[in-house]
Amino acid sequence: MKPENDRSGEIQEQNKRIREALNQIQHRIVVFSGKGGVGKTTVAVNLAYTLVKQGHAVGLLDADITGPNVPKMTGANSSPSVLGDTHHMIPQIKDGLSVISIDPLVPNDAPVIWRGPLRSGAIRQFLADVIWGKLDFLLADLPPGTGDEVLTAVQEMRPDMAIVVTTPQEVSLTDCRRAVNMAKKMEIPVIGVVENMAGLICPHCGKDIDLFGTGGGEDMARLMEVHFLGRIPLEVENRLAGDRGTPPVLHRPESRTSKAFVHITGQMKGLL
């Protein structure tokens, strides 16, 4: 084991690399939720690609170390390239989006059984050693909850904005409120709420089915005095598109889901 002063020097050097990398990024946004299963990664991926379509240089950091789904939803399944014999990594470029994730670095279906410090360390390494270059936006898809990785990402990235994803159900809104309060305590300047799964669009008749209710996210945002960015419906074909790694904003731009992401992206940019 290295002496403590040697380890301290490594940490200081890594902190320096993180600062240098982040200084080249204009806006940093964290996407998280109070609970899993609300479509947080779907939101992060489609917001990132909406920004790419609008001509921005965008990076997407998959910071959900034990449940990395960004490669599946983007089709970015290649391992990052390592620059020579250095520790620097080059993210995969997929349809104009720079993507980094731990998923391609572990065997298929292998669990990442790491304690909190190791997971946080992986996030720090991605921030310090990935050559993001100059970006207009870096989005981080964080794990659900308010644990170590979320704290590390927020502390290190110093984000301009937090986007909290919820569904209209009260069981989701309860956890969403905790996530909003965490964002407030971490003094993130702008906090926005996205209500996902806000009505199922019938694939046969096109009518809205109030599957999980609607409006709960907007009401909660108003009561907590944060910004409501918009709501996203459920469309069966777009769910399939996500499983195939073909984000709907790229492959089904005329769908109501894609138009919702364009609206949300406009709201987001207007607040930064």
Task: Give CA separation, 40 vs 83, 88, 96, 100, in Å.
Answer: 31, 28, 21, 17
Question: Which of 62-71, 91-100, 130-139 is predicted least confidently?
Answer: 62-71
Average pLDDT in the 131-146 region?
93
Read off the pLDDT band of 1 (50, 70, 90): very low
> Does 231 have pLDDT greater than 70?
yes
| Burial (CB count <10 Å: 0-12, 13-18, 19+), residue 173 | buried
38-50 per-position pLDDT tens digit: 889 999 999 999 9
At residue 181, the pLDDT reads: 93
Mean pLDDT, all residues of the chain: 88
Question: What pLDDT sits at residue 84?
Answer: 64
The answer to whether 101 and 185 have CB atoms below 8 angstroms apart is: no
Model confidence at 12: pLDDT above 80: yes
The pLDDT of residue 201 is 79
What local confidence, expressed as pLDDT, does residue 86 receive? 65
The C-alpha atoms of residue 22 and residue 138 are separated, in whole angstroms, by: 9
pLDDT tens string 74-131: 998 877 777 766 678 899 999 999 999 998 777 677 677 778 788 899 999 999 999 9
pLDDT for 135 equals 98
Half-sphere exposure of residue 250: CA atoms within 13 angstroms, side-chain side? 21
**DSSP for residue 103:** G
- Mean pLDDT along residues 51-60: 98
Domain-wise residue ranges, the chain? 27-271
pLDDT at 220 over 80: yes
CATH number of 27-271: 3.40.50.300
E strand or H helix at 92:
strand 92-94
Give the pLDDT score at 104.
79
Q: Give the pLDDT mean for 173-180.
A: 88
Quick one: pLDDT band at residue 243, thresholds 50, 70, 90? confident
Cβ 33 vs Cβ 168: under 8 Å: no
